[in-house]
Structure 1
Amino acid sequence: MSAANTMLTARTTRATKSSRPNGQSARAVPHLAPAERARLGLAARAALPPRAQAELVLPSDRPDPVALLEEQARSLVPELVPVRHGRMTMSPFAFFRGNALGMATDLGAAPVSGLGVQLCGDAHLSNFGVFASPERRLLFDLNDFDETIAGPWEWDVKRLAASLTVAGRGNGFSRKERRTCVLETVRRYRDASADFGTMRTLDVWYARADVDEVEQTLRNKLSSSRRKTIDQSLLKAHGSGSLKAVTKLAEITDDGVRIKADPPLIVPIADLLPDPGREELETAIRGLMNLYRRSLPNERRILLDQFEFADMAWKVIGVGSVGTRCWIVLLRGRDDGDPLFLQVKEAGPSVLRSKVPTVLRRRSAHRNEGERVVVGQGLTQAASDIFLGWQRVEGIDGQTRDFYVRQLRDMKGAVVEKMDPRGMTMHGRLCGWTLARAHAVSGDRIALTTYLNSDDAFPEAMVEYAEAYADQNERDYQVFLDAIKSGRLEAESGL
């Protein structure tokens, strides 16, 4: 691929150990008394009553959804744009997942409460799931942070509520069933926020949804068939570590362990470049990995140093992420049976960056988009990957590009959108608790609790908002399909 060839001339810039720019002193943080923080929540509630958030407010000059996709495509790998569009054609929910920029544009047109948090930025239901903590326990948590940024807390909740309704429609749920799903999800967010509002600061930070405890709760409430589905999901998560990745993605050759080719989704560097060029690229890759190493804490650097480079491949991932520059790097520890797969993924600006009201924008503590993702993930996720880091590269396609690095598979598993109403409601409640925890860590949890109160004003508002946005999503999806049919957009299906 053309982007891979440009790696040959890539120049790297040094990643420094501190996320604070040189000479910048620590920022003084105001500490208000609980009563003062509660008054902030009451003031926000008066300025924008929770019930008012039911209205779907769209920009007066709302751009054509196809034009937004064309705008995004200009920063993506051209060969992969049709694959991205093909995956988005699968359903209104697949389109919703890939159209984060479209919803960000719409969210930016509506009034906000004025209470800020570190947003996940793309909190749809498929971006929650099961993964392993550094202690090797399975946790339920958020697992995608490409769009993370400081902004209004309600944007995450609206994205989650709308995703439940869009997915519910796709699964044939009745309006009453969709209402129950969204209502219970947002109520759980509200109630969990209230709990976090009374907790000590460190207790909030350490709170997490341990899957062993979650599993027992679900078992007591679900039918035997649903319990079987949960068991299968957990088994899949337990079996999706590095050894599983090697079985699926790699093979032993005369030259040692190497990544299997599966073009155009996985293309090893051996298939991208001839031998002389490959050697030069591998040298550049080792340089990049060394710079990434500098973004890790000292003890993690020592751990990483026990692995050596074995192979690298171009990989297509996700739906909305298709077209971003993404590589997988295979490292070898003691021998070929001691693997580590890392994912090196491009980090562009968050789709929400220009939409966040000025009053809620934080002075940036990061100097590149890869670091933004890493810092945002650390703030919103209960336990992050021990190999999470970043790097900046100059010279790719003549541009400077940012990347973040993490383990490709680390006992990850997600519950897909194909669920029955009861299963999706249970999943939604877990998502609601998880999102509340993420917001409580980075925002004013007392002000937020006061804003939400204990009534159903906000949950009911989200039911109405989600239905209205699902209607809009279906209209945009049809415009998207028409653009493909007319030839305006190119789509490649089946990949």
Structure 2
Amino acid sequence: MTETTHRHRTPQERAAGGRAARAGVPRSAHAEFTPAADRPDPVDVLEDQSATRLTELVPIRYGRMLESPFRFYRGAAAIMAGDLATTPDSGLRAQLCGDAHMLNFRLLASPERHLMFDVNDFDETLPGPWEWDVKRLAASLAIAGRGNGFRTSERAAVVSGTVRAYRRWMARFARMRTLDVWYARIDADDLYRLLSARLDTKVRRRVTRTIGKARTRDHLQALEKLAHVVDGTLRITADPPLIAPLDTLMPGVERKQLEDQLRNLIERYARTLPADRRTLLAQYRVVDMARKVVGVGSVGTRCWIVLLLGRDDADPLLLQAKEAQESVLARYAGRAEHSNQGERVVAGQRLMQATSDMFLGWERVEGLDGRERDFYVRQLRDWKAIPQADLMTPEVMRLFGRVCGASLARSHARSGDRIAIAAYLGRSDSFDRALVRFAEAYADQNERDRAALAAAVKSGRVSAAQAEPPSR
């Protein structure tokens, strides 16, 4: 159920509908996870995805996924989508992130230059059961906690605290006026106040440094890292196979064709921007392009970084054009209403985020192989700070999870029936305790799936390569 389907019902009717959903799906029912008897081989699921990706990059993806259970989980959204489809849901829907693991919540910049905390990855976004996002977040925390050596009770405190924050914030949003929900956001000052009030001096200093560092991770810092001057001209620095400028990828004729296609992509994508942003983008010129390997689950999809310059070499803009394929949720939650997968990503991001990148847009282009592919475009880096899960103590992860839970509740409240979801969750901790059990059960499944991939590599069924730590 989305906002458009419940807008004419009274708050009392919506709350009654949420409470009534408990009869069919009790909150305690969300605790269980048992793999379906006909569950696909997890390696087959990954290989199905790899069939549409760049063959030479797929071993990097598998290598990254094998580095740890948490890295595997980051790349296994398609596997979990099938599993989530077998779990109970209340029948209430919202716009989903589709890959709401803990590292997809981070600090980022608003167009007004405010540092915000929000969910940030929307490759899999689609309307669906709101529980799916909450379960993926909960399981990610349990898996990360295991990787850090947390005790069972410590992991339970992290997960239950996160889900409790989601439940309580959804109740708060249920009481708000609609516009107030849309204006709601979590900025860096809110985050600092929450964390500093509960952490010791050493950790507070680390939080302060992280927030300060995020403000330095802008396009100028990215340019310093990713580009250098060649014969008086600024060029993207090669770092194969993770960053490959066009002149290192293919011979001259094909390179020129690809360069023309990417220039055309940037020119045409501008039509999806508001008029003022089109005017801004038109003041830049494209000077170089490169293929970039990003993330874990995205490795093998086509991703290009494009260097543009404005007034001079000290006036750069780095854009990332990333291939958008069909959401892993589509098979289970229904296909997107958008014919362009890039538009699906952009629409979902704008709906879920409090504020989105000012250069966010989409386009469809024809590749050298004659196949049309969808892309979405955004700035490569703009005040982003990715949390470091492996450095978190139980207390830090518990507080971080609470902020993630609050942020996810705000995102779901914008599109879903916040009053019905809040009524379904209620005031008790029944749902919180259920997801603690679910998260641990799914962490077990995640370890089994990773072992299956390791066995496939050992047998030669698939290949894995060592690579540098993933970046976005």
For 1:192 and 1:396, locate their aligned partners in 2 and report how far apart those are by CA, in whole Å: 48
Residue equivalent to 1:251: 228
List 4+ stretches of structure 1 deviating above 6 A.
none
Pair 1:431 & 2:397 matched? no
Residue equivalent to 2:285: 308
1:78–1:248 CA distance, 2 compared to 1 (3 A): same
Q: Normalized against structure 1, the TM-score is what?
A: 0.91
1:28–1:298 CA distance, 2 compared to 1 (3 A): farther
1:137-175: CA deviation from partner (whole Å, max 9, x where unpaired)? 111100100000000000000000000000000000000
For 1:334 and 1:90, locate their aligned partners in 2 and report how far apart those are by CA, in whole Å: 43
> Within 5 Å, which residues of 2 pair with 1:39-50?
39-50=16-27
Q: Give the alignment's Cα RMSD to 1 decimal.
A: 1.4
**Deviation larger for 390-399 or 151-160:** 390-399
Once the two structures are TM-superposed, the CA of residue 281 in structure 1 deviates from its matched residue by 3.3
1:354-398: CA deviation from partner (whole Å, max 9, x where unpaired)? 112xxxx58x54221000000000111111000000001124433
Once the two structures are TM-superposed, the CA of residue 253 in structure 1 deviates from its matched residue by 2.1
For 2:147 and 2:80, locate their aligned partners in 1 and report how far apart those are by CA, in whole Å: 19
Gaps of 5+ in 2: none
> 8 Å contact 1:58–1:110 — kept in the other structure?
no
Residue equivalent to 1:140: 117
For 1:220 and 1:269, locate their aligned partners in 2 and report how far apart those are by CA, in whole Å: 50
Residue equivalent to 2:273: 296
- Secondary structure of the structure 1 residue equivalent to 2:132: helix
For 2:306 and 2:367, locate their aligned partners in 1 and report how far apart those are by CA, in whole Å: 20
- Secondary structure of the structure 2 residue equivalent to 1:313: strand
How many residues are paired up? Answer: 464
> 8 Å contact 2:29–2:88 — kept in the other structure?
no
> 8 Å contact 1:259–1:311 — kept in the other structure?
yes
1:225-283: CA deviation from partner (whole Å, max 9, x where unpaired)? 21122123212211111100110000122242110000111011122244555444333
For 2:43 and 2:371, locate their aligned partners in 1 and report how far apart those are by CA, in whole Å: 26
For 2:461 and 2:202, locate their aligned partners in 1 and report how far apart those are by CA, in whole Å: 45
Once the two structures are TM-superposed, the CA of residue 491 in structure 1 deviates from its matched residue by 0.4
**Deviation larger for 453-462 or 253-262:** 253-262
> 8 Å contact 1:127–1:143 — kept in the other structure?
yes
Residue equivalent to 2:322: 345
> 8 Å contact 1:233–1:414 — kept in the other structure?
no
Once the two structures are TM-superposed, the CA of residue 480 in structure 1 deviates from its matched residue by 1.3
The counterpart of 1:405, out of the listed 371, 377, 380, is 377
* Matched letter for residue 434 of structure 2: A
Residue equivalent to 1:22: none
* Matched letter for residue 397 of structure 1: D
* Matched letter for residue 443 of structure 2: A
For 1:276 and 1:464, locate their aligned partners in 2 and report how far apart those are by CA, in whole Å: 57
Residue equivalent to 1:454: 427
Residue equivalent to 2:456: 483
For 1:492 and 1:269, locate their aligned partners in 2 and report how far apart those are by CA, in whole Å: 23
Q: Normalized against structure 2, the TM-score is what?
A: 0.96
* Matched letter for residue 459 of structure 1: D
**Deviation larger for 335-344 or 276-285:** 276-285
Gaps of 5+ in 1: 1-26
For 1:414 and 1:28, locate their aligned partners in 2 and report how far apart those are by CA, in whole Å: 36
For 1:475 and 1:282, locate their aligned partners in 2 and report how far apart those are by CA, in whole Å: 43
Residue equivalent to 1:240: 217
Residue equivalent to 1:216: 193
Residue equivalent to 1:261: 238
- Secondary structure of the structure 2 residue equivalent to 1:348: coil
The counterpart of 2:308, out of the listed 304, 320, 331, is 331
1:420–1:30 CA distance, 2 compared to 1 (3 A): closer
- Secondary structure of the structure 1 residue equivalent to 2:234: strand
* Matched letter for residue 407 of structure 1: Q
> Within 5 Å, which residues of 2 pair with 1:76-475?
76-356=53-333, 361=334, 364-418=336-390, 419-475=392-448
* Matched letter for residue 387 of structure 1: F
- Secondary structure of the structure 2 residue equivalent to 1:228: helix
